[in-house]
A and B are shown apart, each in its own frame.
Chain A
Amino acid sequence: MAPKTTAAAPAIKKAAAAKKAALKGTAAKVTRKVRTNTTFRIPKTLRLARTPKYPRRSVPRTPTLDAHAIIKFPLNTESAMKKIEEDNTLVFITDVRANKRQIKDAVQRLYDVSAVKVNTLIRPDGAKKAYVKLDADVEALEVANRIGFI
């Protein structure tokens, strides 16, 4: 061993250093990041979408405000009759929570008529009244007869 070490000393040293570095890994040499801004901003991390192991509710809830619940009944008061004959509009009492778009869709669904516009107001007794103006190609009087109130 003695005569060989003097000639191969630098090679052994290099091998020993390489072994030490390999065992320590790259984390041994810690370099500090250069920060050029005084503000620390939260780093962007991975955000995974949810993949639940079980649904919390067994079935998703069905909406309670469907077309039948939105439109309660049509009005056939004198002023409502006037609207039918003159303005081609039907007057309904609807649910207070319904909006004009929902009322339009409900009328389309229940009576198969397309509405041009819907005006709403909330009566003093708390119910919602909807004036549903029908398309020009349908007659409000005919639809009212079909629904059954006249």
Chain B
Amino acid sequence: ASVRAYELRTKSKAELAKDLEDLKTELASLRVKQHSSSSGNQQQQQQQSVPRITTVRKAIARVNTVISQVQRDQLRLFYKGAKYTPLDLRVKKTRAIRRRLTNFEKAQKTVKATKKERHFPQRKYAIKA
């Protein structure tokens, strides 16, 4: 039973939580199997190969990812248009980029400068051949 992310996205929060619990209990039982030394082993510390363990671990990762992604998308919708948003939903980029002047702030001009540009723009001339 392969766990697919696009199938998980259709599920509800409660269903995903239940899936997570089931997968974790399965992982626990697999770990028991992995570390159980049957009484005929040469080396007592030998680990048995349980290939299904990797698929279950990755499935747990997938469920956690989907839960987190859906949660964050919903929160972004919730905070859309709000004045203050939580810091982890804000743009990350780099610290320096976040402190730069915005495009609007860069384009600001004094009244005097705008008047000057308006009344005395740079003219373009052409010479008739």
Residues of chain A having any CB pair with chain B under 8 Å = 53-59, 68, 71-77, 93, 110, 147-149
A55 is contacted by which of B27, B33, B86 (Cβ under 8 Å)?
B86
Closest to B71 in A: A59
A-B contact pairs, 25 of them (CB 8 A): A54-B79, A54-B86, A56-B86, A56-B87, A57-B86, A57-B87, A57-B88, A58-B72, A58-B75, A58-B86, A58-B88, A72-B31, A73-B28, A73-B32, A74-B32, A75-B35, A76-B36, A77-B37, A77-B44, A93-B35, A147-B32, A148-B29, A148-B32, A148-B33, A148-B36
B89 is contacted by which of A58, A73, A77 (Cβ under 8 Å)?
A58
Bound: A55/B87 CA distance, A = 8
Shortest Cβ distance from A103 into chain B, in angstroms? 14
Interchain CB contact under 8 A, A68 and B24: yes
Q: Specify the main secondary structure of chain A where it touches its partner.
A: loop
In the complex, which residues of chain A have a beta carbon less than 8 angstroms from the beta carbon of B85?
Answer: 54
Closest to B76 in A: A58
Is residue B82 within 8 Å, beta carbon to beta carbon, of the partner chain?
yes
In the complex, which residues of chain B have a beta carbon less than 8 angstroms from the beta carbon of A75?
Answer: 35
B32 is contacted by which of A68, A77, A149 (Cβ under 8 Å)?
A149
Bound: A58/B25 CA distance, A = 29
Interchain CB contact under 8 A, B37 and A76: yes
Interchain CB contact under 8 A, B36 and A71: no
Closest to A76 in B: B36
In the complex, which residues of chain A have a beta carbon less than 8 angstroms from the beta carbon of B35?
Answer: 73-75, 93
Bound: A55/B75 CA distance, A = 12
